[in-house]
């Protein structure tokens, strides 16, 4: 089955009870038991809910994994994955990881004894050098936010396997439509489903897909024990969003290519970050491991004045955090998404005060370029 078909037929169509073509929203907390312990497979909705389970099954199918798990946010999903580890365990992570991931590792999970090292995971030697006797996993985000660095998932997975470590991939930016890390050797894939999977800026959610029954049982135990589950209504919204993931990603991609070309040729734009650009340092890796390059683009402008003018004049790019939805969004990482990262660390990573990140939507590409032209003029 090809990707677009999977998004429609990945799970069975037709509710067994009524034939409903869409999965019903099972807005229930509990389930009637015929006798003590005799039930239809559902006891309590934290443990299992048919609408959430349908979403979890669909995610497992499209990520080529064994089982899926849905959470109340991307951060809840990431935290649940980290709960697979114990006090004294160590995780190696991508250095310019999502701000919330940096925060939960360095300000919350550290208090429970889960140790971490941030390294440039595009450099395999750095990853290997960071591995300690107590290391349990390599966690990569690729491409990264906001500098779009791309890590070789296959190489990192092979290194992890050689050291008996898990490979965890945050696949939020690419989505399974363009990139399936489990097929490249990863053990666990996770998403902020708030972004492209939902795709309409109307739901906050997180998803994890694992590649084995052992990990599935361990993660279900964590999900049920810690309880950060996604509700049935939001699960349904995600199921709906997923059906158009393929067509949306293709439109996002086409617009991204046109806008990158425009930005590269604009005198007030000093640098463009996009893995689809041939001289992007990780272009070859991006091309090898994914079917597309995505639609998150960052660029640096020549002055704070240009940045301010751009923010004030743009009509179709909404100033907002988040990304991956149908409407184009614009943000200034240093003051928004990455404000929780200390200033000296931001400078180290190359996140300047004039760096702008855009999430390119699915409006008409010509309108978007016209808008950028007038706002930069």
Ligand X SMILES: *Cc1c(COP(=O)(O)O)cnc(C)c1O
Which CB, 304 or 321, lies closer to ligand X?
Answer: 321
189 contacts: CB under 8 Å, gap ≥ 6:
63, 65, 168, 169, 171, 176, 180, 181, 182, 208, 209
Q: Does 154 bind ligand X (CB under 6 A)?
A: no
Task: Give Dmax over CA atoms of the chain in angstroms.
Answer: 74
The reply to whether 195 belongs to the active site is yes
The three state secondary structure string of the chain is: CCHHHHHHHCCCCCCCCCCCCCCCCCCCCECCCCECCECCCCCECCCCCHHHHHHHHHHHHHCCCCEEEEECCHHHHHHHHHCCCCCCCEEEEECCCCHHHHHHHHHHHHHHCCEEEEECCCCHHHHHHHCCCCEEEEEEECCCCCCCCCCCHHHHHHHHHHCCCEEEEECCCCHHHHCCHHHHCCCEEEEECCCCCCCCCCCCCEEEEECCHHHHHHHHHHHHHHCCECCHHHHHHHHHHHHCHHHHHHHHHHHHHHHHHHHHCCCCEEEEECCCCCCCCCHHHHHHHCCCCCCEEEEEECCHHHHHHHHHHCCCCEECCCCCCCCCEEECCCCCCCCCCCHHHHHHHCCCCCEEEEECCCCCHHHHHHHHHHHHC
Q: According to CB under 6 A, which one of 74, 199, 294, 333 is a site residue for ligand X?
A: 74
Our CB check for ligand X shows the closer of 50 and 74 to be 74
Segment near ligand X (CB under 6 A); pick from 34-42, 70-78, 105-113, 211-219? 70-78
Residue whose CB is less far from ligand X, 141 or 269: 141
**Smaller CB separation from ligand X, 198 or 365:** 198
We find the least distance from the C-beta atom of residue 253 to ligand X, in angstroms, to be 18
Name the catalytic one among 52, 136, 195, 248: 195
In whole angstroms, the minimum distance from the beta carbon of 71 to ligand X comes to 9
Which residue among 4, 46, 103, 287 is the active-site one? 46
Least Cβ distance, residue 323 to ligand X (angstroms): 6
User: Is position 63 an interface residue for ligand X (rule: CB under 6 A)?
Assistant: no
Q: Which residues in 81-120 contact ligand X (CB under 6 A)?
A: 98, 100-101
In this complex, which beta carbon is closest to ligand X, that of residue 60 or of residue 325? Answer: 325
Distance CA 18, CA 328 (A): 39
- Which residue of the set 26, 52, 96, 98 is catalytic? 98
Of the pair 93, 277, the CB lying nearest ligand X is at 93
Does 69 participate in binding ligand X (rule CB under 6 A)? no
CB of residue 141 to ligand X, shortest distance in Å = 6
Is 170 an interacting residue with respect to ligand X (CB under 6 A)? yes
Tell the smallest beta-carbon distance from residue 262 to ligand X (Å).
24
- Residue placing its CB nearer to ligand X in the complex, 185 or 206: 206
Region 173-202 residues binding ligand X, contact defined as CB under 6 A: 192, 194-195
Radius of gyration (Cα) for the chain, nearest Å?
A: 21
Cβ 75 to ligand X shortest distance, Å:
4
Q: Residues 45, 49, 121, 145: which binds ligand X (CB under 6 A)?
A: 145
Residue 75 contacts ligand X per CB under 6 A: yes
Q: Smallest distance, Å, CB 201 to ligand X? A: 12
Known catalytic membership, residue 170: yes
The set of catalytic residues is: 46, 98, 170, 195
Residues near ligand X, by CB under 6 A: 73-75, 98, 100-101, 141, 145, 170, 172, 192, 194-195, 204, 206
């Amino acid at each position: 089955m090809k990707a677009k078909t999977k998004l429609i037929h990945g799970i069975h169509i037709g509710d067994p009870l009524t034939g409903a073509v869409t999965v019903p929203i099972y807005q229930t907390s509990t389930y009637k038991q015929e006798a003590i312990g005799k039930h239809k497979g559902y006891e309590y909705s934290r443990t299992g809910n048919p609408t959430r389970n349908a979403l979890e099954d669909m995610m497992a199918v499209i990520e080529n994994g064994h089982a899926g798990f849905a959470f109340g946010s991307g951060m809840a999903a990431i935290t649940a994955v980290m709960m697979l580890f114990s006090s004294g365990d160590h995780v190696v992570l991508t250095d310019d990881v999502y701000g919330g991931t940096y925060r939960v590792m360095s300000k919350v999970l550290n208090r429970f004894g889960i140790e971490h090292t941030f390294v440039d995971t595009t450099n395999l030697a750095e990853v290997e050098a960071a591995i300690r006797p107590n290391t349990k996993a390599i966690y990569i985000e690729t491409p990264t936010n906001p500098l779009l660095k791309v890590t070789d998932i296959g190489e990192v997975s092979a290194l992890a396997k050689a050291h008996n470590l898990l490979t965890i991939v945050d696949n939020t930016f690419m989505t399974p439509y363009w990139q399936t890390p489990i097929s490249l050797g990863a053990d666990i894939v996770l998403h902020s489903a708030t972004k492209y999977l939902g795709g309409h800026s109307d739901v906050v959610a997180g998803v994890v897909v694992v590649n084995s029954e052992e990990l599935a049982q361990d993660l279900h135990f964590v999900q049920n024990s810690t309880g950060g589950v996604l509700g049935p209504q939001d699960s349904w919204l995600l199921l709906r969003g997923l059906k158009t993931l393929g067509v949306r990603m293709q439109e996002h991609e086409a617009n991204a290519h046109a806008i990158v070309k425009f930005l590269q040729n604009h005198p007030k734009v000093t640098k463009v970050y996009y893995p689809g650009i041939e001289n992007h340092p990780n272009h070859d890796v991006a091309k090898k491991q994914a079917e597309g390059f995505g639609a998150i683009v960052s660029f640096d402008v020549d002055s704070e004045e240009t940045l301010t003018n751009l923010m004030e004049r743009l009509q179709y790019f909404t100033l907002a955090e988040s990304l991956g939805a149908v409407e184009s969004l614009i943000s200034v990482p240093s003051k928004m998404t990455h404000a929780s990262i200390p200033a000296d660390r931001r400078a180290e990573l190359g996140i300047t005060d004039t760096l702008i990140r855009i999430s390119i939507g699915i409006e008409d590409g010509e309108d978007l370029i016209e808008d950028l032209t007038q706002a930069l003029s």
